[in-house]
């Protein structure tokens, strides 16, 4: 039945058509509301899952850090007699998964060695330093304290520990490891889960002021040792002969792999010493 009334446009008004149209609009609105509520519910579930995972990771990291704080300094005297029979020689750009016959080391030493003059030029002391950076997302430190060097000897709750700044070469105390000059020990099972990699550098202290560079250095190497088995896993010899005016060396990276930590042999040099390297990894360094 069509009403005698007209709508706003002067057309005959059909109440049944109007009711049907209203029902269609209500059904469409309900469908949109149901879809919106479903999206919100899915998003909420996902957010809850992400939050729960983050809390789990944070709790695990706190536990690992708490345990790591009780880690004592390693006894490095054993390194002089380390088993070298299975050590692999690698070159720049190569990588090696840290394992031996399927077993993964829990404690390793990153040992740096070099030969260098004690004095250069106008009786200027020659001092080279090994450092480590605990890196998270974006290849950046999550805090300035994740930078291990001669003024900050530990990070990661003690899971990364520097064992002393030694001036000159391996002939100096405080320890004799048969050639290693500076050593950084990593307790891999206790490294915070937020850390994706550990970067290692060698830099010359006050190189610009003393007019020094890597051409003063001979036989620069990095070796990795399994401290539990006193076994050398790999050795990486780094060239220095052509590095005139270069005073900073990114020498290696440890990356948290799917099955084990992976050692990457790097060979990236810079000008500007430890200051430039630290800035590149987002460590705040006061202007000099």
3-state helix/strand/coil string of the chain: CCCCCECCCCCECCHHHHHHHHHHHHHHHHHHHHHHHHHHHHHHHHHHHHHHHHHHHHHHHHHHHHHHCCCCCCCCHHHHHCECCCCEEECCCCEEECCECCECCCEEEEEEEEECCCEECCCEECCEEEEEEEECHHHCECCHHHEEECCECEEHHHCEEECCCCCCCCCCCCCCCCCCCEEEEEEHHHCCCCCCEEEEEEEECCHHHHCCCHHHCEEEEEEEEECCCCEEEEEEEECCCCCCCCCEEEEEEEEECCCCEEEEEEEEEECCHHHHHHHHCCCCCCCC
Is the model more confident about 18 or about 278? 278
Given a cut of 60, is residue 65 above it in pLDDT? no
Distant-in-sequence, close-in-space partners of 118: CB < 8 Å, separation ≥ 6: 125, 126, 167, 168, 169
Residue 288's pLDDT band (cuts 50, 70, 90): low
Residue 60's pLDDT band (cuts 50, 70, 90): low
Q: Which of 10-19, 32-41, 77-86, 201-210 has the highest mean pLDDT?
A: 201-210
Residue 157: its pLDDT value, please? 87
Q: Percentage of the chain surpassing pLDDT 70?
A: 80
Residue 167: its pLDDT value, please? 54
Residue 84's pLDDT band (cuts 50, 70, 90): very high
Mean pLDDT in residue range 164-176: 54
Residue 170: its pLDDT value, please? 43
102 contacts 211 by C-beta, under 8 angstroms: no
252 contacts 200 by C-beta, under 8 angstroms: yes
Domain locations in the chain? Answer: 69-280
Mean pLDDT in residue range 188-212: 94
Q: How many residues does the chain have?
A: 288
Mean pLDDT in residue range 191-195: 92
Is the model more confident about 56 or about 43? 43
Residue 176: its pLDDT value, please? 57
Q: Which of 58-67, 69-78, 118-127 has the highest mean pLDDT?
A: 118-127
Residue 228's pLDDT band (cuts 50, 70, 90): very high
**Mean pLDDT over each residue of the chain, to the nearest integer:** 84
Given a cut of 90, is residue 88 above it in pLDDT? yes
Question: What's the number of CA atoms in the CB half-sphere (13 Å) around residue 179?
Answer: 14
Q: Rounded to whole angstroms, how far apart are CA atoms 150 and 119? A: 20
Please name the residue that has the structure tokens 């937020």: 194
Q: Rounded to whole angstroms, how far apart are CA atoms 263 and 87? A: 13
Mean pLDDT in residue range 62-66: 52
- The CATH T-level fold of domain 69-280 is Lipoxygenase-1 (2.60.60)
Find the range with the poorest average confidence among 17-31, 54-68, 270-284. 54-68
Residue 172: its pLDDT value, please? 43
> In the beta sheet, which residues pair with residue 125?
119
226 contacts 233 by C-beta, under 8 angstroms: yes
Mean pLDDT in residue range 152-159: 90
Residue 14: its pLDDT value, please? 64
214 contacts 243 by C-beta, under 8 angstroms: yes
Given a cut of 90, is residue 232 above it in pLDDT? yes
79 contacts 177 by C-beta, under 8 angstroms: yes
Please name the residue that has the structure tokens 């990588």: 95
């Amino acid at each position: 039945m069509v009403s005698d009334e007209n709508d706003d446009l002067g057309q005959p008004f059909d109440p049944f058509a109007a009711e049907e149209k209203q029902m269609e609009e209500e059904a469409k609105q309900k469908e949109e509301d149901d879809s919106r509520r479903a999206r919100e519910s899915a998003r909420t579930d996902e957010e809850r899952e992400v939050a729960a995972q983050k809390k789990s990771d944070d709790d695990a990291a706190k536990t690992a850090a708490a345990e790591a704080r009780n880690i004592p300094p390693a006894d490095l005297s054993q390194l002089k007699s380390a088993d070298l029979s299975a050590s692999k020689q690698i070159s720049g750009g190569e990588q090696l998964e840290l394992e031996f016959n399927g077993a993964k080391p829990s404690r390793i030493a990153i040992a740096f060695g070099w030969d260098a003059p004690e004095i250069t030029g106008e009786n200027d002391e020659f001092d080279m330093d090994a450092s480590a950076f605990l890196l998270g997302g974006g290849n950046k430190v999550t805090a300035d304290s994740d930078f291990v060097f001669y003024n900050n000897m530990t990070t990661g709750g003690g899971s990364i520990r520097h064992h002393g700044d030694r001036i000159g070469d391996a002939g100096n105390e405080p320890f004799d490891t048969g050639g290693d000059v500076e050593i950084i020990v990593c307790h891999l099972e206790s490294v915070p889960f937020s850390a994706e990699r550990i970067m290692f550098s060698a830099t010359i202290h006050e190189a610009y002021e003393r007019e020094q560079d890597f051409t003063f250095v001979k036989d620069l190497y990095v070796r990795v040792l399994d401290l539990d088995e006193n076994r050398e896993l790999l050795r990486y010899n780094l060239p220095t002969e052509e590095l005139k005016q270069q005073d900073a060396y990114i020498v290696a990276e440890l990356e948290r792999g799917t099955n084990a930590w992976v050692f990457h042999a790097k060979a990236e040099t810079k000008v500007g010493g430890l200051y430039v390297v630290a800035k590149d990894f987002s460590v705040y360094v006061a202007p000099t």
